[in-house]
Structures are given as C-alpha cells and as structure tokens.
Structure 1
Amino acid sequence: MIEFKEVSYGGWSTCYQVSNGIIDLIITGEVGPRIIRLGFNDGPNQFCNVDEDLGKTGGDEWLMYGGHRFWHAPEDEVRTYYPDNVPVTVEENNGIVTITQPTETTTGLQKQIILTMNPDSAQVKVTHKLTNHSPFAITCAPWALSVMRPGGKAILPLPPRGSHPEDLLPVNSLIMWSYDDMSDPRWTWGKRFILLSQDVNNAQPQKLGASIPDGWVAHLNDGVLFVKQFDIFPEATYPDMGSHGEVFTNDYMLELETVGVLGPIEPESSAEHTETWNLFQGVGAVSNDADVEANVLPKVESIK
C-alpha cells in the first residue's frame, strides 16, 4: 500500500513523503520540482543534500539543493539554470504523484515529474514531462539528474565487446568535456564497464557522456545499489554528441544523469523521458569488471 503524506524536511515546512513500507522518497513543495530524498525506510538518504541550500526559497539565483532534479538539454548557462525556487503543485491520485512547476517565464517551458511507486518492491517509475507553452517550437531534450551522496561509485556499462578483424565498425561513443582528465584516479577503465568514484578530497570536476545501448546506469554506495533504467531510441538524435547517460563528480557529490531525445517541441506539445529506479541492499563493493559482473549485473538482470 502506498502512503502519501505531508511532512517537513530540511528546513522546508511543506514537503511530501511517498512510501510503500520498503522505500520512501520526499518531494519538496516550496521549491522544485525536486525529489530531495530517496532511500530504504529508516535508511540513509541515497541523494546528496547541500546543507547550505536546504530550507531556502525564492530569489533569482539557481541553487543546487541536492536530490533529483529535472533540466532541459543541451546545457546553457542561462536557459538551463532557470531557478526552481518557487512552490510547485504536488498532487496524488490513486498512488500516482504529479509534481508541476509553474511555467518558466523566460523559456515558456513547464516541467512535470510523475511518480509511480511499485507497492511491493523498491522500485519507482519516474516520468519527466516537458511542455512548451511558448508560441514557437523549442528544440531541447528532457534531462534527468540524480545528485548522489558522497562516497559512492558510478557504473556505466559498455556494449558487448568483439574482436579484430571480425568487428571493423565502431559500436559506441564516449563524450568528454574540456576539463576532463582521463588520468584522474577516480576513473576506472574496464573492458565492459567504466567506473567513476566520488572523492571528498578531490574538487576537480570530472564528467563523461556515453551512448549506452543497454539502457541502464548505476550507483553503489556502502552496500546500496541504485539502478536507473531508461529506453533507448537508436535512430533518434541525442544531445551532447549522442549521450544517453552522463556522470559528473566533484568533492561533495556525484551526479547520475540520463538524457531524452533531442528535437523540437511544438507549442502546447510535450516531450517525455522516463526512468525506472530500483534500490538494492547488501551489494558487494566494486573496483573492476569482475566485481560488477558478480555483484551488480545479477541485480540489474533481476529487475522486472
């Protein structure tokens, strides 16, 4: 049974908790759309919270806050960073929770996050809906970013490997940013997986985008595995040189990101991007491909 109730959290008096008795999440009502907490009941928050931002409202400056947020890609220092500092509408109907942001005054775009929690497992379906209320088409893509708490490790799967000279054509892309350093020890480059560790003592940002035909990315922290699944449309155009998923880290968090299809959204039309979240407990640590194959892949393959 899904329980939905109003709660206070992090200095905000109006938040909303959704729980099935196994996991719970908390939605901010005074800013957003943001999902500020996700975790097992009475367990630690798997999302990062930025303490100096918690409880704040209003103002023209975009704030990190933490948690899970919804942007539109490609990244732009003005359009993307529209402040989500005003109240949102949070409605529950038959276990489905819809979070609606007021239309952005500078873009004409309106964000909605629609949550459907599985009543019997640690699973949540999260749909990101971007509606264009402007008088002209806007080309962008829904972009879903989960800000994970420090100390964890992101896992990006690579497509099945082949051999030379039998396999002559490329099978995937890796996208890098100008500030990336591939020699940074937080990266682990495997044959089947790429790992990125978060380090509270290393403030240098690192980011990587990738085409991910398997349609999942994951994050492991202290035995708790967070898996995001998402649909891939091979013939579609994606932002950031074809990224399906991206990871970013600095000294206080790690972001696990997925990106929807890039294209024009016509006036009064919408684009959607859906993730399915799953949490697992008691998962062994990973430091290489063999660890991922032993500890993570069986969990991913068990998802229904």
Structure 2
Amino acid sequence: MAADFFGLPVHSIGNRALTVDCLARGGPRIARLRPAGRDDNLLAEVPDLHWPTPYGMYHLRGGHRLWHAPEAPLPSDVPDDDDVTLEATAAGLTLRAVEQPTGLEKTIAIALCGDEPRLSVRHTLRNLGAEPLEVAPWAITMLPLGGWAIVAQQRAVTDQRLPDRHVVVWPYTRWRDTRLHVDDDFIVVDAQASATALKIGCLSAGWIGYLRGDFGLIKRFDPQPDRPHPDRNCNAEVYCNQRFIELESLGASVCLAPGAAVEHVEQWEVVTGLEPPPAPDQLIELVKSQHLI
C-alpha cells in the first residue's frame, strides 16, 4: 500500500484486523480503512473533486471527515489543506487542526479495540474564537457506490394518537427515486450512480450501516433523542450522488461559548464474509440475522 494518499502524507495505525490510514495534511481526515489481508480501501476516494468557496478551493478527497452542522449560515466546507497535528495514543491516534475562518478546532481521536475489527472515533469541536457559535458535530463517512445504506429509525412507545418518527428530505430529493426505500423501521438507499443527488435524514436509533459486496461497515452512536438536532432534528443522514454515498451522523445542537467544546462519538464495526443482499427486504433480514443491530 502506498505511503501517501494521492500525494498527501499519511500516518497508519492498525491491529490484526484493520489498518487505518490518516492524512497528515488535509484534514483531520481518515483516508483509508482496510481489513486484514485486503488492499482495497473500504472508503471512497475522490481526489479530483473540488469546488470554490469564499475561503478558497475546497478539496473533498474522500474518506471520513468532521464537519459542523448546519451548513448555513456558518459554512461547513472550509478548505482544510494545511498540516494536521498528529498525536499517538496508547490505542491509536489523535488528529487535530484549526479552521481559521470559523475559529473552530476540529479533533478526531481514533482508538482501536484490541485486535477486533472495531474502532472508536471521537469527534470534538472546540470554539477558539471570541464569539459563541451555534453548531453540531457532523461525522461524515464517504463510501464507494455499489452497496446498500441502511438507517434504523427511532421509534418510541408513545400515545398512538401522536407521531413517533419523522423523515426529512432535501430539495433535490424525489420520493419516487428508485434508490430510496422507506420501511416501517428502516430507511434503505441503493447506492447507484444517478445524475440526480439524493439526501434523506431522520432521528435514528443510533445505528447506520453500509453493506457492499462481502463487507459491512456499521456506525453506532448515542442518538440523544430528547435533545435538539440540526436539519429539522436529524441525527442520521444519507447522501448519494453519481460518485459516492455518505453515511452521516450528527450530535446535538449546542451554543459553544468561547473555549467550550462538544463531542460526538461513533463506534465502528467492520464485518466481512457477508452474502450480498439482492433487495431491501433481504438486506433488513441479513442485518437482523447477523445481529448487527
């Protein structure tokens, strides 16, 4: 495996089950995730994708990144081309960089779980500016097309006369999109290329996953259903376009005073040796039978 990521330096950590490559410049960002015995990257690689922002060109790159929500009025796509501070820890690696235009310090702390195919990914936003900021930590994992994304909806035992869940869509999303499947308990997105992007969100049960070929990536997090979240109260979102799909989890919205910080932790599990599901119903049964939820 190359010692760089399309010309950017990387720092690698791993155990007997996984190798994780992190960017030493351009982040904080996890660039690659590889199970033992495999050279293919489970995460998406898009080194050619970029767009202009008021602060310069933003390079998407791929992998896993930390943004802050909502996307407006405080911009989320602030260029992150500078060096990343790396700190080795007993269980892994901590990545840290400061977003100068917003004054937010972003930290991703990765901790491997022994020799298991699991890791903890702790995301922290700290306000280094002089004014309070309304933000929520937003953990975004980019994955290659060709699989199925699945989100477990939050369902509370409540008065049958009152609603118990909601689904949020973005302006470019169409309910008749054949990639989108909404079940009583799950939302499934078929990650196929399309000229029209799709994005959907919900208040989830703290579980979002992606199954592609013989592998699965499961992300678990504290759903905090009783706290307000951005994007009309979403803590999980899926975005899909013609190049990649994103699994996104969000922490609760907070007002960060100067010097204050907020954390959002994901627990990742990589599962291999799966039989690719042919349809959404079979995907849901596979997830249940493998005790992934």
- Provide TM-score, normalisation by structure 1: 0.88
Identity %: 27
Report whether the alignment pairs 1:97 with 2:90: no
CA RMSD in angstroms, aligned pairs only:
2.3
Q: Superposed, which structure 2 residues align to 1:236-275 within 5 Å?
A: 236-275=227-266
How far did 1:272 drift? 0.4
Which position in structure 2 is the counterpart of 1:211? 203
Cα displacement (A) at 1:66: 0.4
SS in 2 for 1:52: strand
Shift of 1:288: 4.9
Match of 1:170 in 2: 163
Partner of 1:73: 69
Question: Structure 1 stretch 9-18 or stretch 113-122: which is displaced more?
Answer: 9-18
Q: Distance in 2 between matches of 1:139 and 1:294?
A: 40
The separation in 2 between residues aligned to 1:63 and 1:218, in whole angstroms, is 25
Cα distance, 1:37 vs. partner?
0.6
- CA–CA distance in structure 2, aligned partners of residues 61 and 226 of structure 1: 30
- 2:146 counterpart of 1:151: yes
Deviations 1:190-215 (A, max 9, x none): 23222101113x12100001011x21
User: 1:8 matched to which residue of 2?
Assistant: 3
| Stretches of structure 1 lacking an aligned partner (at least 5 in a row) | 1-5
* Residues 169-210 of structure 1: CA deviation (Å, up to 9, x unaligned): 11111011111101011112223222101113x121000010
Residue identity in the other structure for 2:165: N
Deviation at 1:95, TM superposition (A): 2.1
* 2:286 equivalent among 281, 288, 295: 295
Residues 280 and 299 in structure 1, CA contact (< 8 A), matched pair in contact too = no
More strand by share: 2
Q: Is the 8 A contact 2:203 2:223 kept in 1?
A: no
Q: How many corresponding residue pairs?
A: 288
Q: Distance in 2 between matches of 1:178 and 1:159?
A: 23
Tell me the amino acid that sits aligned with residue 98 of structure 1.
T
Partners of 1:209 and 1:132 lie apart in 2 by 27
Deviation of the 1:301 alpha carbon: 4.5
Structure 2 unaligned segments of length 5 or more: list them: none
Residue type of the alignment partner of 1:209? G
Q: Does 1:32 align with 2:27?
A: yes
Question: Deviation at 1:9?
Answer: 2.2
Give 3-state SS (helix, strand or coil) of 2:160's partner. coil
Query: Secondary structure of the equivalent of 2:99?
Result: coil
SS, match of residue 70 in structure 1: strand
4+ residue segments displaced more than 3 Å = 159-163, 286-290, 298-302
Q: Does 1:180 align with 2:181?
A: no
Normalised to the residue count of structure 2, the TM-score between the two structures is 0.91
Give per-residue Cα distances to partners, 1:134-170, cap 9 Å, x unaligned.
112111000000001121110012345999xx82211
Q: Which residue of 2 is the match for residue 3 of structure 1?
A: none
Q: Any conservation in 2 of the 1:90–1:100 contact (CA below 8 Å)? A: yes
Alpha carbons of structure 1 residues 300 and 60: separation in structure 2 relative to 1, 3 Å: farther
Query: Take 2:155 and 2:275, find their aligned partners in 1: how far apart are those partners?
Result: 23
Residues of 2 paired with 1:250 and 1:281: CA distance?
A: 25
**Structure 1 SS opposite 2:3:** strand
Per-residue CA distance 1:16-69 (angstroms, 9 max, x = gap) = 111102111100112111101112123221110014269xxxx92111100001
Q: Residue 83 of structure 1 aligns with which residue?
A: 79
